[in-house]
Amino acid sequence: MNPSLIPVNLPLGINVIASLLIDPMGRVREGSSSRPLSSPEDRQRFLSLRTLADCILVGRRTWESESYSKTKTPVVVYSRRINPITQWNLEILRLQREYGPQIVIEAGPDLLGQLLKEDVIDRLYLTKTSRESRDESSPRFDLETFLFSETMELIESIAGEEDFFEVYQRRSLST
């Protein structure tokens, strides 16, 4: 695997990162999990991002569909119905005080979209897989809307063996 695909540490000022895997249609899962869409390269990169975390932030549906039983890092689960957050910037600060500065977000398109809109993500690691989900009920990440967002910019793109890896960073951190 290309070593630049695996982040070893984060630059100063990059504390809140997110990762997402999408198929060519923007779908994020096959059945109840993203795992069938994930290549060995993507999985290695995903797990390496976790090692950077003081805590992992996930949405309720991600928590229910993915396995976190072996994760040693604290996992914080959010649900709009149970604990709606109206000011994510304050919630992120609270998590950083409680767990440490590095937060890794493993969320589906709904929560991720909300966090991107609130401009609390410093860096997004996006994997575009060539594998296709046949799951019509899968949530979709609206890549077109994201690409035209004013808050993030592409800083790196790398072709893997089976996937295309892109790294986006908050514009305010790039200047």
State the CB neighbour count (10 A cutoff) for residue 143.
17
118-145: average pLDDT: 84
In this predicted model, what pLDDT tens digit does every residue of 33-60 receive, in sequence order? 777 677 788 788 888 888 889 999 988 7
Q: Are 48 and 19 in contact (CB under 8 A)?
A: no
pLDDT for the residue numbered 99: 97
72-85: average pLDDT: 82
Instruction: Give the separation between CA 40 and CA 56, rounded to whole angstroms.
Output: 21
Instruction: Please check the confidence at residue 104 and state whether its pLDDT lies above 90.
Output: yes
103-122: average pLDDT: 88
Instruction: Please check the confidence at residue 8 and state whether its pLDDT lies above 60.
Output: yes
The pTM of this model reads 0.87
Average pLDDT of the residues of the chain = 82
Please report which helix (H) or strand (E) contains residue 52, including its range.
none
Instruction: Please check the confidence at residue 76 and state whether its pLDDT lies above 60.
Output: yes
151-173: average pLDDT: 87
Instruction: Please check the confidence at residue 4 and state whether its pLDDT lies above 60.
Output: no
14-174 adopts what CATH topology? Dihydrofolate Reductase, subunit A (3.40.430)
The pLDDT-based confidence of 3 (bands split at 50, 70, 90) is: very low
More confident residue, 76 or 4: 76
pLDDT for the residue numbered 114: 86
Listing DSSP states for 137-174 in one string gives TS-B--HHHHHT-SSEEEEEEEE-SSEEEEEEEEHHHH
Choose the weakest-confidence range: 5-9, 37-41, 81-85: 5-9
